[in-house]
Structures are given as structure tokens and as C-alpha cells.
Structure 1
Amino acid sequence: MAVDYEIDCVVAGAGAIGLAVARELAQSGRDVLIVEADEAFGRGVSSRSSEVVHAGMYYTPGSLRAQLCVEGKWLLYDFMDKHNVAHSKCGKLIVACDQDEVATLEAITTRGAANGVDDLQLLDERQARVLEPELKCVAAVLSPSTGMMDSAGVMLALLGEAENAGATLAIRSPVVGGRVGGRQNEVDIGGAEPMTIGCNLFVNAASLNAPQVAANLQGLAAAHVPKAYYGKGSYFSMAGRVPFTRLIYPCPVVGGLGVHLTIDVGGQARFGPDVEWVDEPNYEVDPARADEFYALVRRYWPALPDGALQPSYAGVRPKIVPPGNQIQDFRIDGPKAHGVPGLVNLFGIESPGLTSSLAIGRYVMNLASCL
């Protein structure tokens, strides 16, 4: 096919990850075009999270999730300070609601230490209740470096820095196909004005759609494209204040971190997400799921009032492992993984992707500098 336009780098996806990658590439002196299928940046996975700044204690030592979360946490706090993005390093408690869960807390503490999270404190019931008197538990882990952020503010600042360095954002520009592995990559863009763009580097940061984008690239073997799975999580909000100053997390469950309590930067409490495996992404919150939420939340907050929870929003995790498999690492595939020059695919960038975004941007930029 004829190429309509040429540029050094094309980044597909204008969520937090795509914007962070584009920012790093542009600041390194490369010409960057960000193509986004939606009508605005940051409307997908990045806008439908808990907005938690994760500390990094949950993930397998040595994994990309562990490495990039711990590095990204401190980069993100510095970035938000620099750009006056609203955030709070409020801390969180991970709680054991019965004795059978205490071993899980001990394992989390050990894993956190292996990942370089050196501020975790294992508390008994009395120590936990001194911090949060309304809490019910038998033990807890205190994570002082966990916090909350304004995710929209983070993405706006990322886009601003990328554009200041010369990057351009094109909205309503879905990647519908392409050819890779030749003299240059060719990326087919759909939308109202379809075109084919030639580039030296194509970064697929399309999140939920990343496997499909990769599958549509001629020249990339199908063996290097994972199957997509969708882990939907619903959130419920609560009007008024809650009697907690820290985030409250139960012990992790298969597919997620459990229905936890967060308090956003505006002071509103919300609960979630749960885990619901779906065939296709959808963002409707079923009010009937509140019954399960009440039962789960009352394990650690028995005084949650009847009728307090209201449906809020839902997000979908970009999974690349099937239901029942809790272990999923970030997958960032460069030429060493798939053998195609000038191509980087990012798969399975679920939580803590938002926390890790700046570190992921650096990782991809360093990977791309070797291409």
C-alpha cells in the first residue's frame, strides 16, 4: 500500500501508558504521533481505575510489575508534585479478617521487602485499631507509601509534556491494520480520513485492544499475540464521609485485590472493584451486585449502613491469562521477543499500570533506543 505520511514514531493509545511512552520518546528528540481511537485522550482503562498509587508489595519478585511499580511510584509522586496534580500519600491497611488470612499478610510483607518496599509494618489487631478505630480485623499490614491520585490530572500533564516536546495527538484515529518487518513499518489508520503512516518505530499501547491491534499486523507471527481476557470490576460509591483516613484493603483474591475502600482526592468514598469475567468489555454497573459488596465490606467495616452504596462506574482489566490464574506480569515485547524490528507491543498492562506509567515510558524508550 502507498504511504500517505511518514514520521519517526507512532504510538497507538492515548491512555496513561501511551502518553507516558510518547512523552519519553518526544523528550529524547524523536518525532512522535499518538493515535487514539476514541474522541479524546484517557477515556479507557486509565480513567476507570481506583486511582491508587500502589506501593508494589503484591507482585512476584523480579517481575516487570514489581520492578516498574516500585520505580514508577516515586517517579509519579515527583511528577504530580511538579505539576500540582492533586494527590494524597494517605497510606493503606491490608487486613486479615480471620486467622486463616494472617499467613497471607506475612507473605505480602515478605514479598514487599523482596521488591524493595521497605516501609511495610505488620500490625496486630490493637495496633490497627489505634490507627482506624472502626476497623474490624485480627491483623493488618500498614503501607505508608500507598496513596491516591487524580488520574485525569496525571494524563493531562503527561500529554502537556509530550506536546511541549513536539508530539502530536490524533483522536478518532483507530489502528485497523499494518505491515511490519520491512524497510519501515506501515500503520493503517481508520476513521473519517483513513491513511497509511510509515514509521521507524510503532508502539502498540492500545490496552484492551492491544492483542487485536497486534493480530492485525502483517509480519508479526500469531504465536506472539496473546489471547485477550476481560476482567470487569464494578465500583459503588457512598455519599458522606467514612470513619477512615487510610485506604482499607482485604486480602487479595484471584484476579484482583478484593473489594477495597478508597477515598478519592475529593474526599468521596468508593468501594471496589469486584471481579466479573466477561466476553466483551462493557461498563454497566448492575445494582444487584451491591448485595455482595455489603457482605464483603462488612467483614472489615461492620458498621456500613444499609442503603449506603450506590452504583458508580466500572472498569475492565486487560487480562492475558484466563480466569483462575492470578499471576499475570506486564508483557512488553520488543524485537528480542518477536523478531520484528521497530515494533514494541505492550500486553496485559493492568493494575498497577497507572502507578507504573512513567517507569513503563522509560522502559520502552530505553528498549526503543536499541532498535
Structure 2
Amino acid sequence: MSRFDAIVIGAGVIGLAIARSLARAGRAVLILEREGAIGTGISSRNSGVIHAGLYYPPGSWKARLCREGRGLLYAYCEERQVAYRRCGKLVVARNDAERPALEAIVARAGAAGGGDLLWLDGADARRIEPALDCASALLSPSSGIVDAHGLMLALLGEAEDHGAMLARLAPVDRVDRAAGAWLVHAGGERVAAPLLVNAAGLDAQAVAGTIEGLNRAAIPPCFLAKGHYFSYAGRVPFDRLIYPVPVPGGLGTHLTLDLAGQARFGPDVEWIDAVDWAVDPGRKDRFVAAASRLWPGLDPDRLQPGYAGIRPKLVGPGDADADFRIDGEAEHGMPGLVNLFGIESPGLTASLAIGDEVAAMLAGRVSRPSRW
């Protein structure tokens, strides 16, 4: 049986960021990944946006970690030469009736520390984005886009530089507790460590359910909110990200750009009962309608199915959005264990801050078990 200081379950951007922080602190880290490659789930199926922190309640994990993570992420991209662009974002009100929604964003963002916003009237917005249709808008100059896969490769590379190891095709079957160590059964092997981090994304609740002695009341429900993306063939006349006012369950169907300047629209919100990555071409008419509200000049024939992502929600349809859950010993009573639940947007932006937060929670929890 191989022994480590810490085991991280999940090699998405969150698990890799946590592994990096632990490895940089001198821990011997093993990363367990169910799939054959890193970041094949949530981390590779999102908008790739670096969020400024406009939408999250003051004092929440999301507000603080997004704000801190944004600065860390921009600096990390510069340091590690990860491709990114601080392109800025416009959140638009199509008419005067939607303006109060923008005012609410300004108030919340200011209270949460993400308030570097500029008000634009319709004419001002069209001066910088002539193809846009809106009555007013907020400009967020701190928003941007990042090569999510390049980021994950950089995080893995740095973690490995500090001694971390990655085991692919290693699904977790069971986690036992013995002599102060976590014994993890994964991929037909057994490994042990005094520290265990469950960063399994969509599978976080299922993994938590395999942990011996963990009170099931400490495992929240998971609701799956699927979001489809449709890609636009050809160039678009936009240099910035374009968002509508938020809708229940998400931020609305918005226009995002990749680093090559290609555009996609999404995500929408579809509540599902099981993981399903398929994109239904029959949703195109709804996407055309939503996209045309932002860009009247859109050519519907150029819009085509792209990909889908799934957000691991802690609340269901009709409920207010829930905060991240980063549950340590104070929450569940088990030393050396951190469970991460409901890490959806702005998880990518917050990833480096989450990594540092979890490492700090586990600091001092690396003494060898009595029978190590």
C-alpha cells in the first residue's frame, strides 16, 4: 500500500489547484482521477470566463473566492504563460424595464468588492460595440477569458514539479478510516494519507457517500442544471463578452468568445436527472431567439450545436442560488477531510483561491498516523 501526505480526488481545475497548493506547501500528494485524462467534466465544459464577481452575495464563499481568485488567476497566467485575454464584459438591459436588474448588480457587486463597473447608455454601448442592441449596459473591464485546458496543464505541471503524482483511471470505490489515516480503494489499488480532499465535481456527493463514518446528513443533495452552447460559424462583430441580465438558475444565454475570437452562445438552463452531455439540435430556435435579442444582425444559419456543460447545484428549480460548500472538520467533525460540494460558476475563476483555502484548512493536519 502506497502512502502519501494528502490524497485529492478529482483532477478537474479545482482538484488540480488544491493539489498544487498542497504540493507547494511540501506535502506528498496523490491525485486520483476516474477518467483517462484531466478535466474532462465540468472544467472543460464551460464558458472559460474569468469573472469579476458581480453576482454573488457579500460575505459568501463565491464573492470572496471569486474576487481573490480573479487576481491570482491573472497573475498566474502571466507567470506560467497560460493564454488569456482581459477582454471585458458588457451586461446589457434591452429596455428600461430591465435597468433595475443592472442597478441590483451594481449594488451587490459594490458590497462584495467586485464593483469596478462603468454605466453606459445605449449610445455609449454601441460606440464600443456597434452591433449591440440595448438601452443601457454595465461595462466590467476586469472580466476576461482563459484557456481552461492550458490552465489545468499548468496546474498539474507545477504540482508534479513539487512531487505530486497523478493516477488516471482510478475511480474511488470506498474510503475507510484506520489509525488516523484515510484508506482509499481506487482502481483496484489501496492508498493511504492523513489528509483527504473530495474535489470530484459532479461525483462529489457520490464519493462522500463512500467515506466510512461520514454522517450522511453532512452530504447535501445534488441537482443537475444542464447548459447547452451553440457555436457561431464565422467571425462576430464583438470584442467583449455580452451578457443579458441574469435569469433563474444562471446568468442567461450570453455571448462568449474564445481566444481565437470565435463566438458561442449559452448556456441555457435545463434541469436533468442524470448526467447527459448531448446537445439537442432542436433547441436551436430558442438559441436564435435569445441570441438575436443581443445581436439583431445574427445569421441563424451560422448557429450550430456546440457542447453542453452541467452545473452541480445544491438547490433545485425555483430556489435561490446556493453558495459553495467547502466542508472541513468544523462542518462534519472528521479530521483531515475536506468535501467540496456545489462548485459551479465562478469555480474556474476562484480555483487558485480555493486551492489556497483548502490547503490552509488542512494546515497542521499532516502528522503521521500512529501506525504509519
Distance 2:13 2:333 in 1: 27
Task: Report the residue type matching 1:34 in the other structure.
Answer: I
Match of 1:233 among 223, 227, 231: 227
| 1:94–1:248 Cα contact (<8 Å) kept | yes
Greater alpha carbon shift after TM alignment, 45-54 vs 81-90:
81-90
1:209 maps to 2:203: yes
RMSD of aligned Cα (Å): 1.0
Distance 1:138 1:355 in 2: 29
Q: How does 1:98-113 map to 2 (within 5 A)?
A: 98-113=95-110
1:343 maps to 2:337: yes
Distance 2:89 2:38 in 1: 30
What is aligned with 1:361? 355
What is aligned with 1:269? 263
Distance 1:95 1:302 in 2: 14
What is aligned with 2:346? 352
What is aligned with 1:167? 164
Match of 2:214 among 196, 209, 220: 220
What is aligned with 1:330? 324
1:68 maps to 2:84: no
Match of 1:57 among 54, 58, 70: 54
1:77 maps to 2:67: no
Match of 2:90 among 74, 93, 102: 93
Task: Report the residue type matching 1:363 in the other structure.
Answer: E
Task: Report the residue type matching 1:269 in the other structure.
Answer: A
Q: What SS does structure 2 have at the residue aligned with 1:242?
A: coil
What is aligned with 1:29? 26
| 2:106–2:115 Cα contact (<8 Å) kept | no
1:13 maps to 2:10: yes
Query: What TM-score, normalized by structure 2, do the two folds share?
Result: 0.96
Give the aligned length.
365
The percentage of aligned residue pairs carrying the same residue is 54
Give deviations 1:55-93, integer Å, cap 9, x for gaps: 001111110001000100110011111111111100010
What is aligned with 2:310? 316
| Shift of residue 35, structure 1, vs aligned partner | 0.3
| Shift of residue 182, structure 1, vs aligned partner | 5.2
| 1:181–1:341 Cα contact (<8 Å) kept | no
What is aligned with 2:191? 197
Greater alpha carbon shift after TM alignment, 236-245 vs 118-127:
118-127
Distance 1:22 1:300 in 2: 40
Distance 1:275 1:302 in 2: 22
Give deviations 1:304-327, integer Å, cap 9, x for gaps: 112120111111111111111231
| Shift of residue 183, structure 1, vs aligned partner | 2.0
1:297 maps to 2:294: no
Distance 1:175 1:98 in 2: 51
Match of 1:148 among 145, 148, 159: 145
Greater alpha carbon shift after TM alignment, 292-301 vs 34-43:
292-301
Unaligned runs of 5+ in 1: none
Q: What SS does structure 2 have at the residue aligned with 1:172?
A: coil
Query: What TM-score, normalized by structure 1, do the two folds share?
Result: 0.97
1:249 maps to 2:246: no
| 1:176–1:189 Cα contact (<8 Å) kept | yes
| Shift of residue 181, structure 1, vs aligned partner | 7.5
Task: Report the residue type matching 2:262 in the other structure.
Answer: Q
| Shift of residue 303, structure 1, vs aligned partner | 1.1
Task: Report the residue type matching 2:285 in the other structure.
Answer: D
Distance 2:177 2:333 in 1: 11
Q: What SS does structure 1 have at the residue aligned with 2:353?
A: helix
What is aligned with 1:114? 111
| Shift of residue 196, structure 1, vs aligned partner | 2.0
| 1:180–1:340 Cα contact (<8 Å) kept | no
| 2:54–2:115 Cα contact (<8 Å) kept | no
| Shift of residue 365, structure 1, vs aligned partner | 0.4
